[in-house]
């Protein structure tokens, strides 16, 4: 069937069968062959169809179409889609295997810090009250930095490309959760207008002072404004350690640099480079024997003196007289 994005101008809502046919056509039947190679990959397409259903059809006709969980939606999709229908009786088992597979997929995101590294940007999920970081699961054939850039741009509308250092990150694998790597992005403008590019994923985007984020049991305690930071706390602890180590390394590097400069200056002032002063042609042997090696400082002092007051090597007492030279040339001619 021909499909088009539903809109408020469509008028009467389509039937549930038509909706499922549209979603199957958009996300399952026409998905790349590699996405159909396993149920784990295929369920990602079903999940994408689920969010489209929530963001489009239910957004326009909330009272017409039922609310589903991802599992109940998958059951409907397996029932209506010809490609999936042969496996309808296995939907629950396939879904369980999919959720287990998802938890093994690494996740990447970012810790966005202000210029002074005293504040961090947090996001709150659409359906919950927990605070977290802009992040998401890595796509097939995607590396961690690329995943972090994509997810941060989608969730808060900020491009971290110019500030992302692939070696600056904290990483943890908490119990029952996949590995999460958060790249440390410093120097983010606090006045930037953060706007999520997704629907029904992010309900709030706020700056928090790092020192004010609870790190103990208070992070998940009921009845206080500290509630909701339970998933954030372990990464903030790692962030603080990273900032401390980075600050110490930067301080040590500055000290080493100053010591190197000071040592170089001392070496310059204590080492006098010798300048050999050549004897003029025809100088008597006894004067050649008395020829000295002059230092640069001695040469500068002598050259600064009036000619009559100079005492030392005859080469430094030389005066070029144009009149005498021209007269000598006339005689020679």
Element (H, E) at 286: helix 285-289
Share of the chain above pLDDT 70, in %: 69
What is the pLDDT, as a whole number, of residue 275? 44
Nearest to 303, CA basis, from 293, 313, 288, 290 = 313
State the average pLDDT for the chain.
80
List the structure tokens of 327: 């007269």
| Distance between CA atoms of residues 109 and 65, nearest Å | 34
Q: Are 154 and 170 in contact (CB under 8 A)?
A: no
Nearest to 202, CA basis, from 135, 114, 295 = 135
List the structure tokens of 300: 């500068």
Q: Are 291 and 312 in contact (CB under 8 A)?
A: no
Give the contacts of 201 (CB within 8 A, at least 6 positions apart).
125, 126, 155
Nearest to 64, CA basis, from 110, 22, 15 = 15
What is the pLDDT, as a whole number, of residue 162? 96
What is the pLDDT, as a whole number, of residue 263? 61
CA angle 41–45–49, rounded 5-degree value: 160
| Distance between CA atoms of residues 67 and 171, nearest Å | 36
CATH topology of domain 8-102: Arc Repressor Mutant, subunit A (1.10.10)
pLDDT at 114 over 60: yes
What is the pLDDT, as a whole number, of residue 298? 54
pLDDT at 192 over 90: yes
> 312, exposed or middle or buried, with CB in 10 Å at 0-12, 13-18, 19+?
middle
Helices (H), 24-90: 39-52, 58-60, 70-80
Task: List the chain domain ranges.
Answer: 8-102, 107-245, 274-332
List the structure tokens of 224: 């206080």
Q: Are 21 and 80 in contact (CB under 8 A)?
A: yes
CATH topology of domain 107-245: Nucleoside Triphosphate Pyrophosphohydrolase (3.90.79)
pLDDT in tens, 227-258: 788 889 999 999 999 999 988 876 767 766 66
Plot region of 235 (φ>0 → left; ψ -120 to 50 → alpha; else → beta): alpha
| Distance between CA atoms of residues 5 and 7, nearest Å | 6
Rounded average pLDDT over 29-49: 88
| Distance between CA atoms of residues 129 and 223, nearest Å | 13
Q: Are 205 and 121 in contact (CB under 8 A)?
A: yes
pLDDT in tens, 296-322: 555 455 455 555 555 555 545 555 566
Q: Are 131 and 222 in contact (CB under 8 A)?
A: no
List the structure tokens of 109: 């995101």
pTM of the model: 0.67
CB atoms within 10 A of CB 141: 7
Residue with tokens 């850039």: 149
| Least confident stretch, 29-43, 199-213, 276-290 | 276-290
Q: Are 140 and 101 in contact (CB under 8 A)?
A: no
List the structure tokens of 23: 């979603």
Q: Coil, strand, or helix at residue 135?
A: strand
């Amino acid at each position: 069937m021909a499909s088009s994005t539903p809109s408020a101008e469509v008028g009467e809502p389509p039937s549930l069968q038509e909706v499922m046919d549209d979603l199957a056509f958009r996300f399952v039947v026409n998905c790349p062959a590699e996405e159909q190679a396993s149920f784990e990959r295929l369920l990602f397409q079903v999940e994408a169809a689920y969010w489209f259903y929530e963001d489009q059809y239910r957004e326009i006709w909330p009272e017409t179409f039922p609310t589903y969980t991802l599992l109940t939606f998958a059951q409907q999709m397996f029932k209506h889609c010809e490609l999936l229908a042969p496996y309808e009786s296995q939907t629950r088992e396939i879904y369980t295997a999919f959720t287990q597979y998802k938890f093994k997929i690494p996740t990447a995101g970012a810790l966005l810090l202000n210029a002074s590294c005293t504040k961090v940007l947090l996001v709150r999920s659409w359906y919950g009250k927990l605070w977290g970081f802009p992040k998401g699961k890595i796509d097939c054939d995607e590396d961690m930095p690329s995943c972090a850039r994509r997810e941060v741009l989608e969730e808060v509308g900020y491009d971290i490309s110019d500030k992302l250092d692939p070696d600056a990150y904290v990483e943890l694998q908490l119990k029952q959760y996949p590995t999460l790597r958060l790249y440390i992005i410093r120097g983010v403008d606090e006045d930037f207008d953060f706007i999520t590019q997704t629907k029904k994923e992010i309900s709030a985007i706020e700056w928090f002072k790092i020192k004010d984020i609870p790190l103990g049991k208070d992070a998940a305690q009921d009845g206080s404004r500290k509630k909701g930071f339970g998933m954030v706390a372990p990464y903030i602890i790692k962030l603080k350690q990273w900032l401390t180590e980075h600050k110490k390394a930067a301080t040590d590097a500055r000290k080493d640099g100053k010591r190197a400069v000071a040592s170089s200056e001392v070496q310059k002032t204590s080492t006098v480079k010798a300048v050999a002063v050549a004897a003029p042609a025809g100088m008597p042997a006894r004067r050649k024997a008395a020829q000295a090696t002059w230092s640069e400082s001695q040469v500068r002092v002598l050259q600064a003196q009036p000619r009559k007051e100079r005492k030392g090597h005859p080469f430094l007492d030389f005066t070029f007289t144009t009149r005498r030279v021209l007269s000598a040339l006339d005689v020679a001619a």
